[in-house]
Amino acid sequence: MTETQPKATRPPKQEQQPASPEVTEVAPGVLRMQLPIWMPGLGHVNMYALVDDKGLTVVDPGLPGPQSWKALKTRLKTAGYGLKNIHTVLVTHSHPDHFGGAGRIARETGAELITHHAFSTWTVKGPAPHTALTEGEARRAEVEAAALAQSLDVEPDELPTINDPEVVPDDTDETEPTATPWGAITPWGTRNEGPPRRRRMMIKAMRMLFTPPEPTRRVHHGTRVRMAGREWFAVHTPGHTVDHICAWDPETGTLLTGDHVLPSITPHVSGVRHADSLKSYLATLDLVARLDGVKLGLPAHGNPFTDVPGRVKAIQEHHVERMEMLRAAGIALGPATVPELSHEVFPKRHWGTMAESETFAHLEHMVNTGVAERWEEGGVLHYRVAEAS
């Protein structure tokens, strides 16, 4: 998640609030349950439980580990349910605070586990068409997601309910790693030093002790998913990750936004070489804002919000401002690398691969729109603001 204000003056963000034990009904048949997480800048993840006559579908069941698992079971008990009532798990995207409890629920209950077709983690890679994972693929580390939708130029004014290539033209089964392993060279040519040592040790321990989920059903854009006794639709929204999906209920105007649209924090957009991930993100923001009758956004972090188009507009304006900051920095610095430019637009406490990745995403979008130019020297990408025509 991106924050740019100095810590001393930054107002508190609702996404940073600690997990509450309260269980609330936020839409017809939809219960909000907050689970604790230790991700930087976040205090909780919202697990939603969608109730029907067969039991529950749970969405984004938190991090792996005993603290989250205990909270998950406690929240279910508060609502009058148990693990045995869960028949389906939906994971919005391949980040551990969203998929962490999914595999264990599926193993212990036999629940169906639904993700986008491109879902992948450090040991589970998105499969090629009509093929099962090989043993070698299942062991591959550091692969976070698959092929990125590169262009989303259509501005639809109604919900697409089929796999429409004009809406998400690259919602395919092709796979391409988008996460850079620690110590490896990033797409912009520098070395990924990884997170601080303490957090790196926590992540390594989690990877050794935790088996990521293996989806039993992989969906595409427009796939129908029955939850809370109603037909919902998967909406592929790449940008934050390439496999991100929202879930849309046209009957009640409810949108499960995952991390695509958050109420007060701007979701991180990762840069991917040879693809314009920011273009995909901005276009799919338009996609969800234009859903006919959208009334309520249910985010993965923070509180439910009613003005989805208004929040989309604010996030888009943030990215325009970020590109203006990069343009000004490029004019001041002249030719510069991604790390150099990231230091101009992010506070020092946020310097590192994550800030560089988002800077890279913005620079690539600026190159593709003719605002900047790019070249390579010694394996490192350099950028220069394009001269005014």
User: Does residue 342 fall inside a structural domain?
Assistant: no
- Residue 275: pLDDT band by 50, 70, 90 thresholds? confident
Query: Do residues 110 and 83 touch, judged by C-beta distance below 8 A?
Result: no
Number of folded domains that form the chain: 1
Closest CA to 365 of 282, 245, 261, 267: 282
**Average pLDDT score over residue span 373-384:** 96
193-209 as b/e, with b when 16 or more CB fall inside 10 Å?
ebbeeeeeeeeeebbee
pLDDT for residue 56: 98
User: Does residue 389 fall inside a structural domain?
Assistant: no
pLDDT for residue 180: 59
Q: Is the dihedral of CA 181, 186, 191, 192 positive or negative?
A: negative
Q: Report the predicted TM-score, pTM, of the whole model to 2 decimal places.
A: 0.82
- CATH value at residue 80: 3.60.15.10
**Average pLDDT score over residue span 52-81:** 96
- Residue 129: pLDDT band by 50, 70, 90 thresholds? very low
User: Does residue 205 fall inside a structural domain?
Assistant: yes
pLDDT at 203 over 70: no
Q: Which of 2-6, 22-26, 115-119, 123-127 has the highest mean pLDDT?
A: 22-26
pLDDT at 123 over 60: no
The larger pLDDT score, comparing residue 136 to residue 387, is at 387
**178-192, 302-316, 359-373: segment of lowest average pLDDT:** 178-192
- Residue 154: pLDDT band by 50, 70, 90 thresholds? very low
pLDDT at 36 over 70: yes
Closest CA to 87 of 69, 106, 71, 72: 106
What strands lie across the sheet with 30-36, from one edge to the other? 23-27, 30-36, 44-52, 55-59, 86-90, 112-116, 217-219
pLDDT for residue 237: 94
pLDDT for residue 388: 61
User: Does residue 367 fall inside a structural domain?
Assistant: no
User: Does residue 111 fall inside a structural domain?
Assistant: yes
Domain region containing 34: 14-325
Query: 204-237: per-residue pLDDT in tens?
Result: 665 555 677 999 999 999 999 999 999 999 999 9
User: Does residue 181 fall inside a structural domain?
Assistant: yes
Q: Are strands 296-299 and 254-258 parallel, antiparallel or unpaired?
A: parallel
Query: Do residues 273 and 178 touch, judged by C-beta distance below 8 A?
Result: no
User: Does residue 337 fall inside a structural domain?
Assistant: no
User: Does residue 208 fall inside a structural domain?
Assistant: yes
Q: What is the mean pLDDT of the chain?
A: 82
